[in-house]
Structure 1
Amino acid sequence: MRTNGKPAAMYVSPAFDYIYVRNSEGIQFPKGYDDAKVVISGAYKESAFHSKINELVLDDIPLKDVDVVLLAKASTQMVEGRPIVGVLGRAALFRFTVHIRVGEKKKRVSLDPDLTYTTFPSFWISSLKENPEDQKKFTHYDDFLSVGQGALVKNLFMGGSPIENEKIFFHDEVEIGSLGLPFFAAHSGNVSVQDRRGDVQ
């Protein structure tokens, strides 16, 4: 990822509501007009300010004039030579997609921690070596319920790393895959763009 033209890295967590950033060596964010307190980990309070990133590039997609919350304490963390400048919360997760590999085929999926399950379109089943389980589940969407067929997917990869034994529900009514809450509960880390194709790890 890049922020205002500079390479950076950020954690990804649906537990955060917004995009939170910290100044780091070489990357500074403007301090806005709102001076407030943010509660971290349920106890620690830190000063915070409204701020803005002129251009935030995620998955090779530029996002313009992104509102963020600037925390007062600077960051000293690094990963692969990039400063870790903050965390992408729900406000960012809904705005971009990532590549995963299902079997031998590469697919794009959205990030949606509000979904009860990870869901894929039914026609993606043909990409799998395993047969889906013969059962039905319900997944909540914004305004309807969709019947899904469950499968324990073993040959799923993100950024070259295997995601083993991921429970997926395949639905006739959806056209794009979405990584739901169980995925975020089981997997943690930071997102770093590897190349222009949008592969991530």
Structure 2
Amino acid sequence: MKLEQEILKKIFLILIFMCHIQQVWAEERRSCVAAALILPLLGGRNDTPIIPVKVNGRDVAMYVSPAFFGGLYLRESQDFTLRPGRIRGRITENAGHTVPAEISFLDSLEIGGAKVDSPQFIRMPGVVTQTIDGKPLVGVIGDSILSNFQVLIDMPHARLALLKISRDDSCTDVEKKLLGDKVYSLPMRGDRWKIPVKIDGIEKLFSLDPDTGVTVVPLGWTIIPELNQNAVAKGERVMIRYTSSLGDGVMGRKVIVHDMHVSDDELPETSVIVQDGTGDAVIGTPFFENHQVLIDYERKIVFFSDSRNLMKSSGNNLHFAQIFSGLSEVKE
């Protein structure tokens, strides 16, 4: 999800907070972590990562996704109100749909005990209807906050960590200490933090978005044998419905890709949606369900390890974009 230019020029959000090291890793691991904020993930396998936070003193829950640019996105519930914004614009989704938005300020935001006074946020229209653990799901925390840290999204172990990792010579293998011995890595490219992925040996760039419930590729990747015109035509017709759009939604085809690699990690029998009119290719929730992912914004590297043998309880398909203005369901 991205902001239109008139909003982007006006957004300036800096989040600075540090906290004490928690007793999560062993002593030798903690010596390489200068600060850590560890939070539980409230959802299940097929949910976007969800964390508990306090907004304006109220206990709520928020999604977390590095694909949301501009910081914080929130909307109201029946008993949770937000200050109206004076700056107005529109937000463009992956498939080209746009929805109105406003820029405003919160009185306070508290994440794991760390307080931020008067943070700027993007106020979305609509009313929250879903809750988790009795907390309304009011919005999403995006990259303008996350990029101040090394971010560990660990859905298999139901945790999210915001880290400050030391770069001393003794900490060169800290990723292995956090993720295990077999760690893969990839560069992040461009200002949208995309990673290279190979399908049939052909490299393409994908956005990392745990809020997208499926893996999505654009229709025009016909140079890839498994995604050429004939292969896609044989795929099941699906409809990706956007709650903000009129009509039936965006049509696509579901294709099973047999040769897909993220770094040297093979993703066999991967279901992808070839979507007509989509802008970016997206690595979605299914990848995060089965991997521990460490995003190092400072060095522009993504580290991850395979955790497919770890089963986490099923979720309820909770997604910020799906609930409000994005992928709400895939009909077959």
Q: Which category of TM-score, normalised to the shorter sequence, fits these structures? A: 0.5 to 0.7
Q: Which ranges in structure 1 are unaligned for 5 or more consecutive residues?
A: 102-107, 112-119, 142-151, 153-162, 169-173, 191-201
1:11 to 57, 63, 73: 63
Matched, 1:20 2:73: yes
CA positional deviation for 1:65: 1.2
Counterpart residue type for residue 25 of structure 1 = Q
C-alpha distance in 2 between matches for 1:39 and 1:137: 30
CA positional deviation for 1:127: 7.8
Whether the 8 Å CA contact 1:110–1:179 is kept in 2: the answer is no
Larger Cα Rg: Structure 1 or Structure 2?
2
- In structure 2, the partner of 1:57 is 110
Whether the 8 Å CA contact 2:185–2:302 is kept in 1: the answer is no
CA positional deviation for 1:45: 2.3
Closer, same or farther: CA 49–122 of 1 in aligned 2, 3 Å: same
Corresponding residue pairs, total: 150
C-alpha distance in 2 between matches for 1:49 and 1:21: 10
| Post-superposition CA distance 1:73-100 (Å, at most 9, x none) | 1221211110111111101213467789
Counterpart residue type for residue 54 of structure 1 = D
C-alpha distance in 1 between matches for 2:94 and 2:178: 41
C-alpha distance in 2 between matches for 1:16 and 1:166: 20
CA positional deviation for 1:8: 0.6
TM-score, normalisation: structure 2: 0.35
Whether the 8 Å CA contact 1:21–1:85 is kept in 2: the answer is yes
TM-score, normalisation: structure 1: 0.54
Q: How does 1:1-201 map to 2 (within 5 A)?
A: 1-18=53-70, 19-95=72-148, 109-110=162-163, 121-122=172-173, 125=176, 166=292, 180=302
Q: Secondary structure at the match of 1:29?
A: coil
C-alpha distance in 2 between matches for 1:39 and 1:131: 40
- In structure 1, the partner of 2:211 is none
Closer, same or farther: CA 109–32 of 1 in aligned 2, 3 Å: closer
C-alpha distance in 1 between matches for 2:133 and 2:91: 29
Counterpart residue type for residue 6 of structure 1 = R
C-alpha distance in 1 between matches for 2:303 and 2:107: 30
C-alpha distance in 2 between matches for 1:109 and 1:44: 32
Whether the 8 Å CA contact 1:48–1:72 is kept in 2: the answer is yes
C-alpha distance in 2 between matches for 1:138 and 1:99: 15
- In structure 1, the partner of 2:260 is none
CA positional deviation for 1:41: 3.9
C-alpha distance in 2 between matches for 1:182 and 1:11: 20
Root mean square deviation of aligned Cα: 4.6
